Amino acid sequence: MNPSTLEPGRLTRLRKVCLALPDATEKRAWGDPTWRVGDRIFAMQKGNYAGGRPSVWLKAAPGDQAVLVDLDPQRFFVPPYLGHRGWIGVYLDSTRMDWPMLSRLIAQSHGLVVGGGRRADRVAPPRGTPRQRKQP
């Protein structure tokens, strides 16, 4: 089991954000904390090794990965193993964390993992994302 390289207060806050989502649970995998709905991961805290840079990996909406990495490569990156599937990495070691933005990205990842149905409807999209209208 890898000890987290993330500052304990930030790990506590990350847990709180992830576990506040419907049906979310936490499970250690590969020595790192992951958050899931059922067996599907929507967030994982990574970088827990000597010299590692703490981060969280999230499922992103199509096209978001390129936009976010181009917009702010000091904050966002393409994670190994899952980057080719559109996942996004967010560094968690900056001096000032944008928790509202990170919370929206986590909620969006949760919604993408949950997929269609009632549970996904309860997740607010990130700002600037138009809501889909329900079909009658």
Residue length, the chain?
Answer: 136
Buried-state track 91-117, b at ≥16 Cβ within 10 A, e below 16? bbeeeebeeeebbbbbbbbbbbbbeee
pLDDT category at 2 given cuts 50, 70, 90 is low
Contact 44, 33 (CB under 8 A): yes
d(CA 131, CA 73) in angstroms, rounded, equals 27
Global pTM reads 0.82
Residue 1 has what pLDDT?
58
* Residue 11 pLDDT greater than 50, yes or no: yes
pLDDT over 70 percentage in the chain: 83
* Per-chain mean pLDDT for the chain: 86
pLDDT category at 51 given cuts 50, 70, 90 is confident
Neighbour-count burial of 35, counting CB atoms closer than 10 A to its CB (0-12 exposed, 13-18 middle, 19+ buried): buried
- Summarised one tens digit per residue, pLDDT across range 69-96 is 999 999 999 999 999 999 999 999 998 9
pLDDT category at 67 given cuts 50, 70, 90 is very high
Average pLDDT over residues 22-45: 96
